[in-house]
Amino acid sequence: MAPTVEAPAGLHLQEEESEDVKEISRDEFPEGFVFGVATSAYQVEGAAKEGGRGPSIWDAFSYTPGKIFDGTNGDVAVDQYHRYKEDVDVIAKMGFDVYRFSISWSRIFPDGFGAEVNKEGIAYYNNLIDTLLQKGIRSSVTLYHWDLPQKLHESMGGWLNREIVNYFAQYAETCFTAIGDRVKHWITLNEPLQTAVNGYATGIFAPGRCSDRSKSPVGDSSTEPYLVAHNQLLAHAVAVDIYRKKFQDKQGGVIGITVDGEGSEPFTDAEGDKEAAQRRLEFQFGWFLDPLYFGDYPAIMRKKVGDRLPQFSPDEVALLLGSVDFVGLNHYTTRYVIPSFQSSEDEFFVDQDIHRIAEWEGNTIGERAASEWLYIVPWGFRKVLKWLTERYNRPPIYVTENGMDDEDSEITLLDQALNDTKRVNYFKGYLKSLAKAIREGVDVRGYFAWSLIDNFEWSQGYTKRFGLVFVDYKNELKRHPKSSAHWFTSFLHRTDNQDCLVNGENRH
């Protein structure tokens, strides 16, 4: 939780803060707007040692004592590898247009590279995609959602080594070849900021490197995140180049990247607070999007990070520029920001020269969800969308993740766990904010709720539940739709007589 602070004079008040949670209709979104639901491979698939899959850095990280809050791992997760047909049925009954999932790199190449493609891995994703299509559901496929093959990390340093760009290119081309005839929506990387910062600065995500020797025997939090981000950007650009030159005309799909960030609002009207809020946005979104739209990192990053920030060659700039058909946005929350003051934040925040505020003098920026970082601030969503629109000249945007979590509790009765009213209100508020942004000229073309199903929540294990569908971890992973699943069913089916999902069955 962010430390409490005293509010200075001139507190920057938001007129949207009092916006109540109103009902919203699908008709408030443009014709052709798509609604989807999302997951990622390591969080849901399980079958970690089946089907020819090799180990990933998240396998190694979760097996390390003390790294996962509840001591668990993704070996089984929610077993979607074996139960994908059941989960596809649920997606279809709710009425979503698209399922966003990621491919496990080590299911395709167990070591991350090689001449032999794992046919069992290809077969699994072919079966998933075909099952979705049979139900009228399209696929949005993410090539990389954090689960780097462990062999690549051990043998050549993973994202720290420029050579990984070539391995990623081979992997991406293999996927385009195998499933691109049916996949029309590709995402190269999911949240490269999280890989860079939490994997190589704070050390709380795989591979767990940082400067704090009490957490990791290796790593440099001042340099490695920037190098990792740099190599991820180049890997993205090379994959896009391959897709556009060899596949896009024939397959007819689009390809982009998904970035993430919280909203950033000045705490007061002071110029220093406004500058700090802008820095925060540029260190989150500009870090990855400025090179793709302008050919270099933000000037403020060059100033603050100095020679620790890598340079792009002229050929790399040419490759990066314009290498997105759309921007994917993962967004959950917003904070107020001031310039740093004796900050206890991690080194990445020191570089930004900012301090984030969510609570002050008994006040909060919004109601908190289960995770300490997630406050419910719908008005911040619209502001992020407008900032991206203004900075990058109205790019096509897909909101590829948005949602909130509940705390897992062994003493909560099933009926109580399924009655997730707070989540329903979260979606109503954020969708209202999204619809308003679209009316104001933001070019958003789709929205994906996170998440389809409760799952392995990274360093928090199974202690946090983001799903529309409840998973009974103690009863054979049985699925139970929550109130939020029922709400989306009603929202997506509008007011006609199409089927609604009630207790997992179709009823009028």
User: What is the per-residue pLDDT for 344?
Assistant: 53
Mean pLDDT of the region 90-99:
98
Known binding residues: 43, 145, 190, 332, 450, 457-458
Does the bond joining 207 to the residue before it have cis omega, within 30 degrees of 0? yes
So what's the pLDDT on residue 412? Answer: 84
Percentage of the chain exceeding pLDDT 90: 90
pLDDT digits (tens, 9 = 90+) for 288-301: 999 999 999 999 99
**Measuring CA to CA, which residue among 430, 376, 425 is closest to residue 399?**
430
What mean pLDDT do residues 411-422 have? 93
Q: Full-prediction pTM beyond 0.75?
A: yes
- In angstroms, the CA 431 to CA 499 distance is 23
How much is the average pLDDT of 260-281? 98
| pLDDT above 50 (res 395) | yes
Q: Which of 160, 365, 142 is nearest to 260 (CA)?
A: 142
> Is pLDDT at 265 greater than 90 in this prediction?
yes
pLDDT(3) > 50: no
The pLDDT, as a whole number, for residue 258 is: 99
Decide if 328 contacts 102 (C-beta within 8 A). Answer: no
| Region 65-82 average pLDDT | 98
Binding-site residues for substrate sit at: 43, 145, 190, 332, 450, 457-458
Measured distance CA(280)–CA(265) in Å, rounded:
9
Catalytic residue set: 191, 401
The structural domains of the chain, with segments of one domain joined by +, span: 30-493
Does the pLDDT value for residue 500 go beyond 60? Answer: no
Q: What is the mean pLDDT of residues 57-79?
A: 98
3-class SS of residue 335: strand
Q: Are 92 and 501 spatial neighbours (Cβ–Cβ below 8 Å)?
A: no
pLDDT at position 349: 82
**Do 417 and 470 form a contact (C-beta atoms < 8 A)?**
yes
* More confident site: 95 or 13: 95
> How large is the average pLDDT for residues 69-91?
98
Task: Render pLDDT for 214-230 as a digit per residue (tens, 0 to 9).
Answer: 999 999 999 999 999 99
pLDDT band at 455 (very low <50, low <70, confident <90, very high): very high
Per-residue confidence (pLDDT) for residue 461, from 0 to 100: 98
Residue 48 scores a pLDDT above 60:
yes
Q: Where are the beta strands (DSSP E) in 302-413?
A: 326-330, 334-339, 354-357, 359-360, 363-364, 397-401, 406-407
Model pLDDT for residues 326-346, shown as the tens digit of each residue: 999 999 999 999 998 655 557
In the three-class reduction of DSSP (H, G, I as helix; E, B as strand; rest coil), residue 106 is classed as: helix
Contact 485, 419 (CB under 8 A): no
Superfamily of domain 30-493: Glycosidases (3.20.20.80)
CB of 335 within 8 A of CB of 357? Answer: yes
pLDDT value for 410? 83
Checking if the pLDDT of 497 tops 80, the result is no
Residue 10 above 60 pLDDT?
no
The Cα 276–Cα 354 span in angstroms is: 6
Kindly tell me if the per-residue pLDDT of 498 is higher than 70.
Answer: no
Q: Hey, what are 230's tokens?
A: 């740099």
The pLDDT tens digits of the residues spanning 165-210 come to 999 999 999 999 999 999 999 999 999 999 999 999 999 999 999 9
Q: What is the mean pLDDT of the chain?
A: 93
Residue 15 has pLDDT above 60, yes or no: no
Query: What is the pLDDT averaged over residues 311-316?
Result: 98
Q: What is the pLDDT of residue 345?
A: 56
Summarize the confidence of residues 99-114 as an average pLDDT.
98
Collapsing DSSP states into helix, strand and coil, what is residue 138?
strand
Q: 168: exposed, middle or buried (C-beta count within 10 Å: 0-12, 13-18, 19+)?
A: buried
Given a cut of 80, whether residue 263 has pLDDT beyond it is yes
Query: For residue 256, what pLDDT is reported?
Result: 99
Bridge-based pairing of strands 505-507 and 334-339 is unpaired
Question: Has residue 4 got a pLDDT over 50?
Answer: no
Q: Give the dihedral sign, CA 247/293/229/166.
A: positive
Would the pLDDT of 20 be above 90? no
* Residue entry with tokens 């997992």: 504
Task: Compare 107 and 15 and report the one with higher pLDDT.
Answer: 107
